[in-house]
Amino acid sequence: MSNAMYNKMWHQTQEALNSLLDKESQNMMESQRNQVFIFQMLATFYIKYVQIFRNLEDVYDQIVHPQKRILIRKILDGVMGRVLELKNEMVELELTEFHYFDDILQDLKLAPQQLDIPIPKYFLKEKLEVIKGREKILAQILTSTGLDIPKKKYSVKSIPLEEAVKLIQISERARQGRLRAMFMKQIFLREHRSKQAKILGEKVADVGAAALQIQKVWRGFHQCKKTKKQREEEMIFLGMNPPPLFNEVSATVIQAEKVASLRNEMQIKHETNYKEALVTIKDDLKLLEGPDIKENLQDQIRHWFIECRNLTGMFPEYPNVEEGGSAIIFSNKTPQQEEDEGWKMSPSVFLPMMEEGNNVYKDMWKNRDESWNFPQDYDPELIKQEKRKELESEIRVQVDELMRQELKNLKLAVNREKEYPVKVGKKKGKKKGKKGKKGKRGKKDKDLTADRTIESLYKELVEEGLLIQALKVNLSDYIGEYSYLGTTLRQVSIEPMPSLLDVRQLIALYGILPLGSATVHEKAPLVKSLLLAGPSGVGKKMLVHALCTETGANLFNLSAANIAGKYPGKNGLQMMLHVVVKVARELQPSVVWIGDTEKTFYKKVPSAERTMDPKRLKKQLPKILRLLKPDDRILIVGTTQRPFDAELQSFCKVYQKIILVPRPDYASRFVLWKQIIQRNGGIITNALNISCLAKVTDGFTQGHIVQVVKGVLTDRRIRQQTYKPLTAVEFIAMLASMSPVYQEEEESFKDWYAKTPMGKKRALALTEGNIEKEKEKGKKKEKKGKKEKKKK
């Protein structure tokens, strides 16, 4: 796509955002009581904002104009924040983390894939050098301390010469034996053919019949091949099979990737030019227009002196620096403007940000003529407008000092007024206030490592194994399928198990977006801690690593098994947590992972684990959460296979959001088998019935599927695929030795979740709703009965 196309896409997205903001302002004035209507409204806004988010992310990533990018970034952060606010409102309304929009998507003619939360590329692009530098330092520390993962080395055993000769002789004799057997087989076949020829030699060979036989065989073979080809073409035409080159990367895609990389280079170049221009244009304005600005300001202030003298008979008091100096004199605010500002105060923090960005777009970019700026470099006129204001405020400070003295002299000369030494008491008061603040700060923040650098603390945590290297896993690698019957099931009071992609959505919303954007984290509904609960093999650890990969976050491992024996004693524990929080805060974003987190909250510690002291962090975790502020991009993530072993009350106090990670359903298993086989070098043909595999493997997790595929697809088996295609039986044989996740285990997770605060609220709301429905039915029956009696 060209610059013009991305500009057009931006203008269309802004129009959609403008109409959506108008609708939001209308709906905020109206009060609604119907819960179904409210959810429909919130869900529609959520879906539409996600569409705008997806478009703006593409535009911001590809547009090269530096000044446009600043505005788009501001609006993009606002849209992200609004999406999170709407999600939070839906959670509070429905009392569940998972929502289903099947009916609304159908009305809006959208596919479920269009609800995917995009991960802005700027999360990593803008700090790529920092991340690379940090990874390099981490790798150096790991190699120097010998903590890096050792590579498998195959040891070669030396054997005596006699044994070596014997092995060579055995293999050579075996080779000769195979050759001799093949040679004898050929002799036998030749003799057999000659005997058959003698027996049939008496019959006269009919050349025509032989030719007919050959034709018959050839035509049959040719027709079979033709029919098979036609069937394949028909299946492709019907959309049942992909086209032949479907999985191959086309030349157009390769070209598009090249253009995208060139755009990135252009963005960097234009950004550099823009930053240089900000300095040079300001300096030029200072030389050319600075004296005029100074003179105009002085004239305006002198005119104000004379006006006040004529009206009141006295010279005015000059405004203080704290009040804004002379700027406050000329700020013409009408009552109407003040009313507008008051009206902007709304429940949403991000609506004013989006409205402001939208107004700037309308005033500056909507109808701007850019025919002169084909390469989309910076616009010098816009920089001049911005820098004039900046320059004026700087010069105003200097002018204020001069004019204060001039006013003082005027008062002495004309009115014989004296300046009184006021504001002494105020200064003292201010000093007291400052002292009080300092005292409070000293109590709150005790830096136990004030004499140490962040680099030394970082190295210490790596050496202790508390700061680990995150695996390079993207969130898109967490494969699954959508739940297409969620709304239908809820309408008949059946709570559906979430799909894998529903879980993926929540990780993006609660983890990746706030960690990636400082603006979103500060202003959006704050999520400090997250719990992933589910059976073994469903990808909980993978999601933790994906969080770090997508945002460039540091990964701290505070699992009970990992901290056992490290930093012993009460003071040691305090020091460990202090160092972890300090480094995590300094090098944010950061993820603090607590694996098998139920051990930290054990009801009763098993005797085998008592030496490990797994409950060390139980009392400290709530304190850490209280220390985290909105500007600290730190997320505590717990993973557990057995949440029922934990003490529920303290467990739920620590983890703000609890996400159940289910075993994959049929649709997800179908996609998993297909993707994992292809990623491991497998070729899918008609001989491999994936639908059958997905059906048979009900209860098996992603971990099982990966293990089976890697076990079957050895290097030798991959080479054999050309003449021996893969079949389902090969994979099923390996599954026989594995134990699946049974329905009872899944039900135990659902029962446990029903005991959590959110689960209890949801159950209570559902029972109240059912009682109301029954009452309404009873009233209708009574009315019908009365009508029938009247008729009689």
d(CA 300, CA 308): 12
Is residue 594 within 8 A of residue 558, CB to CB? The reply is yes
- What local confidence, expressed as pLDDT, does residue 173 receive? 94
pLDDT over 90 percentage in the chain: 14
Cα dist from 528 to 46, 219, 514, 676, whole Å? 23, 72, 10, 33
d(CA 174, CA 605): 62
pLDDT of 687-728, one tens digit each?
A: 888 898 999 888 899 899 999 999 889 988 899 888 888 988
Q: What DSSP state is assigned to residue 602?
A: B
d(CA 528, CA 635): 5
Is residue 683 within 8 A of residue 725, CB to CB? The reply is yes
Q: Which residue has the tokens 């006013």?
A: 407
Enumerate the β-bridge partners of residue 660.
533
CA torsion sign for 250, 251, 256, 262 is positive
Sequence-ordered strand ranges (E) for 305-413: none
pLDDT of 273-285, one tens digit each?
A: 888 888 888 888 8
Closest CA to 481 of 459, 504, 461, 463: 504
Q: What DSSP state is assigned to residue 646?
A: B
Cα dist from 700 to 659, 665, 737, 746, whole Å? 20, 9, 12, 12
DSSP per-residue string spanning 419-467: -----HHHHHHHHHHHHHHHHHHHHH---TTTTS-HHHHHHHHHHHTSE
DSSP per-residue string spanning 664-730: P-HHHHHHHHHHHHHHTT----TTS-HHHHHHHTTT--HHHHHHHHHHH--HHHHHGGGTS---HHH
Whole-angstrom Cα Rg for the chain: 37
Q: What DSSP state is assigned to residue 475?
A: G
pLDDT of 52-85, one tens digit each?
A: 999 999 888 888 888 888 889 999 999 999 999 8
Three state DSSP letters for 711-726: HHCCHHHHHHHHCCCC
Q: Which two tokens stand for residue 459?
A: 């190295």
Establish whether the linkage from the previous residue to 347 is cis, with ω within 30° of 0: no
- What local confidence, expressed as pLDDT, does residue 424 receive? 41
- What local confidence, expressed as pLDDT, does residue 115 receive? 87
- Residue 727: exposed, middle, or buried by beta-carbon count in 10 A (0-12, 13-18, 19+)? middle
The mean pLDDT value of the chain amounts to 81
- What local confidence, expressed as pLDDT, does residue 183 receive? 92
Q: Which residue has the tokens 């120097």?
A: 144
Amino acid present at 288: L
CB atoms closer than 10 angstroms to residue 558: 23
Q: What DSSP state is assigned to residue 731?
A: H
Closest CA to 481 of 503, 460, 455: 503
Closest CA to 658 of 676, 646, 670, 666: 646
Is residue 392 within 8 A of residue 293, CB to CB? The reply is yes
pLDDT less than 70: residues of the chain = 1-2, 28-33, 146-156, 200-205, 247, 330-347, 415-445, 768-792
| Measured distance between the N- and C-terminal CA atoms of the chain, rounded to whole angstroms | 76
- Residue 487: exposed, middle, or buried by beta-carbon count in 10 A (0-12, 13-18, 19+)? middle
